[in-house]
Chains A and B, each alone.
Chain A
Amino acid sequence: MVPFAGYHMPLTYGDASQVASHQHVRQRAGLFDVGHMVQSNFRGATATEFLEWLTPSSLSTLIPYTSTLSVLLNEEGGIIDDMVITKYASDAFYVVTNAARCAEDLAWFEARLAEWNTSERSNGGPVEHEVLEGWGLLALQGPAAADHLQALTSYDLRALTFGRSAFVPLEGINVHVARGGYTGEDGFEISIPPAHAAFLASALLRSPVQLAGLGARDSLRLEAGMCLYGNDLDESTTPVEAGLSWVIGKDRRTAGGFIGSKTVLDQLKNGPPKRRVGLIVEEAPARQGAKVLAPETSDKIGVVTSGIPLAPTVGKNISMAYVKSGFHKKGTVLAVEVRKKARPAVVTPLPFTPSRYWRG
């Protein structure tokens, strides 16, 4: 058990090692209890406009019951948090944010809502924010996830392609199921009312599904090239630098109109000063904080933000790092400093492992 965002969370469950658990998710299916994450609803006639002010996402054109990765930006374009936004309708959105950023996010939402609801922008109707206290959130991930979940519902999950969501009856309880996750595998994130969370967790936890902890979650997401807030994202990093330009909607790139848009649009046009890259590191693995060096001059040109030795599926030492623009091209040979020695590191496209989403 380790402390995480104010919770005590297991790195591993039972006798299954982190590596075994990782492999089980890649080969069969794992169940992650991610109920610590913050689930919220935003409702109100101007909810679309409000969230388009807070994020660079194109929410007005998002199809109902579709989810998108998004970012909350500060005035300088730095990432306050990354999150998944699901649109139910133009006046109703479901949002999942990071537990570790709960205090900052809620304070930000509260202040921006107060500003919004007292300005003429909310003339069409105010926006309300409700945190779903005590709700369960389970992530069922892996190639066997769909068959397993299908056995528990009459809803045809084949229609639920990657990025789509639906309210699905599961053992007689209506739950929100979003197809996607944080592993690069096919899978589902299931939001469950408080009274039913434990019951449905047990119902889902049948062979071949095994519980998976934070350890496997970290190595899986790193192989899948996904960011962990606090490691790979922070308030001094913009989505363009983070390689998340794809979350910025097409119509938002010219019109702007979101908090932080000045920096973000400028970086989209002129390029960012640094960029997130994947590295395969030879010799010793490079972890968070290791310096990235230019190959010939040995000048410091960046820093490792996440890294693990011998990634279970990739079979190599993998890291994510931020490097100065110009050093970010695939195949560039850099060095990372581990225990005062420079170790060769090759810029490698993300994700390290191909994603295996269900696209129908």
Chain B
Amino acid sequence: MHSLRFATSLTSALRIQRALRPASHSFRRTVVTKLYTTDHEVIKFDDETGVGTVSITEYAQKSLGDVVFVELPEKGVTIKQGEPVGAVESVKAASDIYAPVSGDVVRINEELEDQPSLLNKSPEDDGWLFQLELSKREELKGLLSEDAYKKHCES
């Protein structure tokens, strides 16, 4: 599994998302932005609530194989971008989870304690890890778009 970690300043993802936003604010719609890290995490950010849902990517679950244990941050803790906040373990390897952005952990996926295999079956939906209320939205600008992430995986 790649563990390359470097700051990136790709902002095109956000620009594209903004362009897609309806021009009229008369019926405001929630915009969910999906962004990636080089550590193979994905965050779905809901721009209305300010809450992001963190998962590992499909690529990460495939490289890990059978996930048998997930360690998550505790609900209520404040985490800083880039710091290790938990881990996903398969029989083969342990992979740290890093906070993709800073914020307060508001919810964790308790299902994973009994069913860590949800991470293999549905990494980005049922197998989500935790939700956090972002304290520094500007950090999103430093994350990768889906295309940029794909390129990262191929490289």
A positions within 8 Å CB-CB of B:
11-12, 17-19, 215, 219, 283-285, 287, 308-310, 312, 317, 339
Of B65, B68, B71, B96, which contacts A310 at CB under 8 A?
A: B68
Known: A19-B91, A215-B92, A285-B94. A310 touches B69 (CB 8 A): yes
* B65, A17: Cβ atoms closer than 8 Å: yes
Given the known inter-chain contacts A17-B65, A339-B87, please indicate yes or no for A284 contacting B92, CB distance below 8 A: no
Q: Given the known A-B contacts A287-B94, A339-B84, A339-B96, are A17 and B66 also in contact in the complex, defined by CB atoms under 8 Å?
A: yes
Q: Which residue of A lies closest to B91 (CB)?
A: A18
Cβ of B89 and Cβ of A284 under 8 Å apart? yes
Chain B residues with CB under 8 Å of A309's CB are 68-69, 89-91, 94
B contact patch SS:
strand
> B114: shortest Cβ distance to chain A, in Å?
12
Docked complex Cα distance between A89 and B72 (Å): 59
B: which residues have CB within 8 A of A?
65-66, 68-69, 71, 84, 87, 89-92, 94, 96
Given A17-B66, A284-B69, verify A308-B91 contact (CB < 8 Å).
yes
Contact of A18 among B69, B71, B92, B94 (CB under 8 A): B92
- List residues of chain B with CB within 8 A of the CB of A284: 69, 71, 87, 89
4 new A-B contacts, CB < 8 A, other than A11-B92, A284-B71, are A18-B92, A309-B91, A312-B91, A339-B84
For A19, A284, A309, the residue with the greatest tally of chain B CB atoms inside 10 Å of its CB is A309
A18 adjacent to B66 (CB under 8 Å): yes
- Nearest residue (CB) in A for B67 is A309
Q: Which residues of A contact B65 (CB under 8 A)?
A: 12, 17-18
User: Shortest CB–CB separation between residue A74 and chain B, in angstroms?
Assistant: 32
User: What's the Cα separation between A17 and B121 when bound, in Å?
Assistant: 14
Contacts of A310 in B (CB 8 A): 68-69, 91
Give the distance in Å from the alpha carbon of A285 to the alpha carbon of B84 in the complex: 17
16 pairs, CB–CB < 8 Å, chain A vs chain B: A11-B92, A17-B66, A18-B91, A18-B92, A19-B68, A283-B71, A284-B71, A284-B89, A285-B94, A308-B91, A309-B94, A310-B68, A310-B69, A339-B71, A339-B87, A339-B96
